[in-house]
């Protein structure tokens, strides 16, 4: 069944769109990543113009995140206090990120910076996670060796301490604010919610338990992507409501399934899967940068290319 999308000005297969929404929703519910880094390339692939894909993708992520957060809330797996602290940092960060984005755009190299940032971050984050979670899995197979859960590092010496009961942490608010800020900057530049950076940062930098991380990450992604959607709608008129609706229907169902799948898995397995996913996206981007393109020319804007 073909559907003509009024803003994208192309017609696309409704079932393909439902499928894309569903896949992204499953990932969102399982890992707490918004899926923005995946939905945009998939939409390009079926011929949606890039600007519309980015803006509408953000709108879909809002829906799947809401759906995911509600499911996580019932399992008491959302640290609202930590989420709010991260969000404050995130909003400050995205303000700075938007400023940086405009600066780079004026220089005409925003695409390159975005791609390089993706490759560098995804590669590092994915690699570290894979290494750590494989190690954790191996340790779990050899029992009777107690692992110290909270290591005392410099992070714990900072002032302004706050109790995060759901996460079982008593730490300074400075690290979460800084994490939120850096993710906010990156999210604004790269046009994504930032879940794939936020999730590992919460686990490894803040020491939050994996089960709480997913819901908390989704909680703050809702706000970041809602802001992005509104900005795109006002400045570029590039949000396609019809496209969003179809993606959302697939996405919210997927998010519910993903949450249930995630709940049945071990934390280490969940992290290994996310690490592999992150590395796969990284490899794809790296290949695009290094491989000789099929055509060195490309049409930047104005109608279908």
Q: Is 27 in the site for another protein (CB under 8 A)?
A: no
Residue of 67, 210, 217, 220 interacting with another protein (CB under 8 A): 67
Instruction: For residue 88, count other CB atoms closer than 10 A to its CB.
Output: 17
The separation between CA 82 and the C-alpha centre of its own chain, rounded to angstroms, equals: 17
Residue 221 burial (CB < 10 Å; 0-12/13-18/19+)?
buried
Q: Is 287 in the site for another protein (CB under 8 A)?
A: no
Smallest distance, Å, CB 55 to another protein?
9
Span between the terminal Cα atoms of the chain, in Å: 23
Distance between CA atoms of 194 and 192, rounded to whole angstroms? 5
Smallest distance, Å, CB 35 to another protein?
13
DSSP state of 78: -
What is the number of residues in the chain?
A: 305
Segment holding 87, helix H or strand E: helix 80-107
Taking CB under 8 A as the binding criterion, the range among 64-72, 126-134, 191-199, 261-269 that sits at the site for another protein is 64-72
Residue of 70, 88, 137, 279 interacting with another protein (CB under 8 A): 70
Q: Is 87 in the site for another protein (CB under 8 A)?
A: no
* CB nearer to another protein: pick between 182 and 238: 238
The separation between CA 36 and the C-alpha centre of its own chain, rounded to angstroms, equals: 6
Taking CB under 8 A as the binding criterion, the range among 105-113, 151-159, 161-169, 192-200 that sits at the site for another protein is 105-113
Q: Is 272 in the site for another protein (CB under 8 A)?
A: no
Q: Is 154 in the site for another protein (CB under 8 A)?
A: no
The radius of gyration of the chain's CA atoms, rounded to the nearest angstrom, is: 19
The separation between CA 304 and the C-alpha centre of its own chain, rounded to angstroms, equals: 28
* CB nearer to another protein: pick between 59 and 94: 59
Residue of 91, 233, 276, 279 interacting with another protein (CB under 8 A): 233
Residue of 85, 255, 272, 278 interacting with another protein (CB under 8 A): 255
What six digits make up the tokens of 136? 């954790």
Q: Is 244 in the site for another protein (CB under 8 A)?
A: yes
CA distances to 9, 177, 184 from 192, rounded to whole Å, are 23, 19, 9
Enumerate binding residues for another protein (CB under 8 A).
Answer: 1-4, 6-7, 9-11, 47, 59-60, 62-68, 70-71, 74, 108-109, 111-112, 116, 226, 229-230, 232-235, 237, 239-242, 244-245, 248-249, 252-253, 255-256, 288-293, 295-305
């Amino acid at each position: 069944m073909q559907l003509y999308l009024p803003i994208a000005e192309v017609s696309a297969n409704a079932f393909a769109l439902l499928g894309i929404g569903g896949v992204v929703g499953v990932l969102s519910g399982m890992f707490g990543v918004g899926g923005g880094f995946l939905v945009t390339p998939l939409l390009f692939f079926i011929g949606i113009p890039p600007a519309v894909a980015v803006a509408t993708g953000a709108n879909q992520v809002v829906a799947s995140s809401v759906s995911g957060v509600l499911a996580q809330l019932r399992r008491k797996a959302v640290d609202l206090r930590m989420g709010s602290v991260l969000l404050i940092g995130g909003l400050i960060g995205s303000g700075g990120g938007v400023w940086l984005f405009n600066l780079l755009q004026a220089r005409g190299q925003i695409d390159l910076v975005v791609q390089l940032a993706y490759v560098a971050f995804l590669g590092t984050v994915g690699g570290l996670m894979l290494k750590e979670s494989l190690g954790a899995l191996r340790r779990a197979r050899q029992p009777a060796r107690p692992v110290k859960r909270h290591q005392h590092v410099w992070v714990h010496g900072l002032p302004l301490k706050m109790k995060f009961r759901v996460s079982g942490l008593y730490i300074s608010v400075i690290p979460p604010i800084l994490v939120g800020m850096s993710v906010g900057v990156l999210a604004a530049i790269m046009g994504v919610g930032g879940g794939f950076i936020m999730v590992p940062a919460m686990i490894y930098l803040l020491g939050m338990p994996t089960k709480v991380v997913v819901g908390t990450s989704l909680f703050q992604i809702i706000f970041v992507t809602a802001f992005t959607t509104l900005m795109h709608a006002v400045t570029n008129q590039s949000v396609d409501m019809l496209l969003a609706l179809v993606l959302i229907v697939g996405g919210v169902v997927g998010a519910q399934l993903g949450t249930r799948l995630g709940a049945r898995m071990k934390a280490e397995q969940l992290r290994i899967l996310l690490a592999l996913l992150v590395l796969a996206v990284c490899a794809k981007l790296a290949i695009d940068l290094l491989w000789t393109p099929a055509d060195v020319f490309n049409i930047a804007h104005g109608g279908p290319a």
